[in-house]
Amino acid sequence: MSRGTLFDKVWQLHTVGTLPSGQTQLFIGLHLIHEVTSPQAFAMLRERGLPVRYPQRTVATVDHIVPTAGQERPFADAMAEQMIRALETNCAEYGIRFYNIGSGSQGIVHVIAPEQGWTQPGMTIACGDSHTSTHGAFGAIAFGIGTSQVRDVLASQTLALGKLKVRRVEMNGSLPAGVFAKDAILHIIRKLGVKGGVGYAYEFAGSTFEAMNMEERMTVCNMAIEGGARCGYVNPDATTYAYLKDRPFAPKDSDWERATSWWESLRSDPDASYDDVVVFDARQVAPTVTWGITPGQGIAVDEAVPRAEELAEEERPLAEEAYRYMDLLPGTPIAGTKVDVCFIGSCTNGRLSDLREAAKLASGRHVAPGIKAFVVPGSEAVKRQAEAEGLHEIFLAAGFEWREPGCSMCLAMNPDRLVGRQLSASSSNRNFKGRQGSATGRTLLMSPAMVAAAAIRGAVTDVRTLLEPQR
């Protein structure tokens, strides 16, 4: 095989041909679908009388619209009920595996595909969802696509795409206590900007990412898209293989041996050339909180909301807009900002290790009066595992609500919504205006441990002040 980056190798191996437009026709190894972006795609397929080209490479779940407090059918929201029914019908008609509510394996698409072993190194993966970059944690090239592209993949199992440049985003050293994968990626986006990655695939490399477990790598790759990159990935290694071994859809027996040596060969070569390289030091990363209306408007928790004059000229108009919308005064320390709602969940931070970190903080403490705090596992499997460890009891005793899996308050497509001007501390990935429900609702992004700390203190809190001295 040719030498180079993992991105180049996977791209080359999946290239079907070059289209007249100059774009590559790329074969898609795995197509993930959910209820929001698939209905019109199926409708377009029907109009043309086309079959699904590879139903066995297509996997469905329902996540955005599901209520997380009581999931009886029919759903109270007629629109949500109609969307889940459409997915049920489409999957049954086209022979597509569907992880429905109550199957034991339902959950947020970016949580369940890795859990089930569908997501594997060296694959090309597409899903009608921006955070598909998550799957890059396994050394896959994973793209979020729009509905017309969902149609294209259903019909042809290929996509027309322009090739990307590759930026090596390197971070070395250990993250300090109280600093997590979420902080690392918020820090990177703060430094490189929300548009910094446009035209690029981000390769996350260096000892910090190498030391991360798969869930942490997923958190990082999940937000590559928020930094403008088209996809993000980590080269596969022993950590990747240990995670995948014995998952339901991972290769078995002698196939496993063949697969791992194949995956190894796809890693970026030491002499691979990159279009750009940036290097970060993990020791410089602090618990990070956003203060504005994009994930790039982040600061260390012990910093103040930046004054316009401290920002680069081109960042100022957006900062002014953010001060007004967020109702935060420039120059005010972010720590101590009172919050109303604390949300732990989403495809960024709704996995078992996230819930464990939050539970450590919540253990033996209580949610501050007047705060609504809730925990939403990313999947039915995460919920089961968390309950087996007794995490739900810790959360409930501390005054958090314990919910059913789904996207929940990450975005306003289900009953979990902010009200009015509420300010939320959220472990999700987007703080856009109105993102969490109310058109005037406000979001501060942070790690799950920081959300738990905010719930306990009722205000943005430096999680390091709540760590046990011995930690």
Give the residue numbers of the binding site.
Answer: 347, 407, 410
The partner in contact with residue 136, picked from ligand IPM, ligand SF4, none with C-beta cut-offs of 5 to 8 angstroms by kind, is none
Looking at 39-47, 191-199, 202-210, 406-414, which segment touches ligand SF4 (CB under 6 A)? 406-414
CB of 273 to ligand SF4, least distance (A): 33
Closer Cβ to ligand IPM, 250 or 411, answer by number? 411
Q: Which one of residues 240, 346, 447, 461 is an interface residue with ligand SF4 (CB under 6 A)?
A: 346
The partner in contact with residue 84, picked from ligand SF4, ligand IPM, none with C-beta cut-offs of 5 to 8 angstroms by kind, is none
Dihedral sign computed on CA atoms, order 433, 35, 197, 343: positive
Our finding on whether 224 is near ligand SF4 (CB under 6 A) is: no
Residue numbers in the known binding site for [4Fe-4S] cluster are: 347, 407, 410
Our finding on whether 290 is near ligand SF4 (CB under 6 A) is: no
Our finding on whether 445 is near ligand SF4 (CB under 6 A) is: no
The partner in contact with residue 394, picked from ligand IPM, ligand SF4, none with C-beta cut-offs of 5 to 8 angstroms by kind, is none
Q: Which one of residues 349, 353, 428, 436 is an interface residue with ligand SF4 (CB under 6 A)?
A: 428
Our finding on whether 188 is near ligand SF4 (CB under 6 A) is: no
- 163's CB contacts (< 8 A; 6+ apart) are 11, 24
| Both structure tokens of 165 | 């440049």
DSSP 156-174: HSEEEEPPPEEEEEEEESP
Our finding on whether 404 is near ligand SF4 (CB under 6 A) is: no
Query: 69-73 long-range contacts, Cβ below 8 Å, gap at least 24?
Result: 69/401, 69/403, 69/404, 69/415, 70/404, 71/101, 71/102, 71/404
For residue 350, give the nearest of 30, 68, 65 by alpha carbon. 68
Our finding on whether 115 is near ligand SF4 (CB under 6 A) is: no
The partner in contact with residue 346, picked from ligand SF4, ligand IPM, none with C-beta cut-offs of 5 to 8 angstroms by kind, is ligand SF4
Q: Count Cβ neighbours within 10 Å for each residue of 329-340 and write b for 16 or more, e otherwise.
A: ebeeebbebebb
For residue 92, count other CB atoms closer than 10 A to its CB: 10
CB of 255 to ligand IPM, least distance (A): 33
The partner in contact with residue 428, picked from ligand IPM, ligand SF4, none with C-beta cut-offs of 5 to 8 angstroms by kind, is ligand SF4
| Both structure tokens of 293 | 């209306």
- 277's CB contacts (< 8 A; 6+ apart) are 167, 168, 170
The partner in contact with residue 227, picked from ligand IPM, ligand SF4, none with C-beta cut-offs of 5 to 8 angstroms by kind, is none
3-state helix, strand, coil in the chain (%, to 5): 40, 20, 45
Our finding on whether 418 is near ligand SF4 (CB under 6 A) is: no
Show the DSSP H helices in 58-171 as ranges: 78-94, 109-115, 147-156
Yes or no: say if 45 and 39 are a contact pair by the CB < 8 Å rule: no
Closer Cβ to ligand SF4, 109 or 266, answer by number? 109
CB of 411 to ligand SF4, least distance (A): 4
Largest CA distance in the chain: 65
The partner in contact with residue 108, picked from ligand IPM, ligand SF4, none with C-beta cut-offs of 5 to 8 angstroms by kind, is ligand SF4
CB of 172 to ligand SF4, least distance (A): 28
Q: Count Cβ neighbours within 10 Å for each residue of 241-267 and write b for 16 or more, e otherwise.
A: bebbeebebbbeeeeeeebbeebbebb
What is the rounded distance in angstroms from the CA atom of residue 409 to the CA atom of residue 342?
10
Distance of CA 202 to the CA centre of its chain: 15
Looking at 115-123, 211-219, 407-415, 434-442, which segment touches ligand SF4 (CB under 6 A)? 407-415
- 245's CB contacts (< 8 A; 6+ apart) are 256
Q: Count Cβ neighbours within 10 Å for each residue of 142-161 and write b for 16 or more, e otherwise.
A: bbbbebebbbbbbbbbbbeb
The partner in contact with residue 36, picked from ligand IPM, ligand SF4, none with C-beta cut-offs of 5 to 8 angstroms by kind, is ligand IPM
Our finding on whether 383 is near ligand SF4 (CB under 6 A) is: no
Our finding on whether 426 is near ligand SF4 (CB under 6 A) is: no
The partner in contact with residue 37, picked from ligand SF4, ligand IPM, none with C-beta cut-offs of 5 to 8 angstroms by kind, is ligand IPM
Our finding on whether 64 is near ligand SF4 (CB under 6 A) is: yes
366 burial (CB, 10 Å; 0-12 / 13-18 / 19+) is middle
# binding residues, ligand SF4 (CB under 6 A): 12
Contacting residues toward ligand IPM, per CB under 6 A? 36-37, 64, 129-131, 144, 411
For residue 398, give the nearest of 362, 431, 430 by alpha carbon. 362
Site for ligand SF4 in 384-403 (CB under 6 A): none
Place of tokens 């930046």: 306
CB of 275 to ligand SF4, least distance (A): 27
What is the binding site for ligand SF4 (CB under 6 A)? 63-64, 108, 129, 131, 346-347, 407, 410-411, 428-429
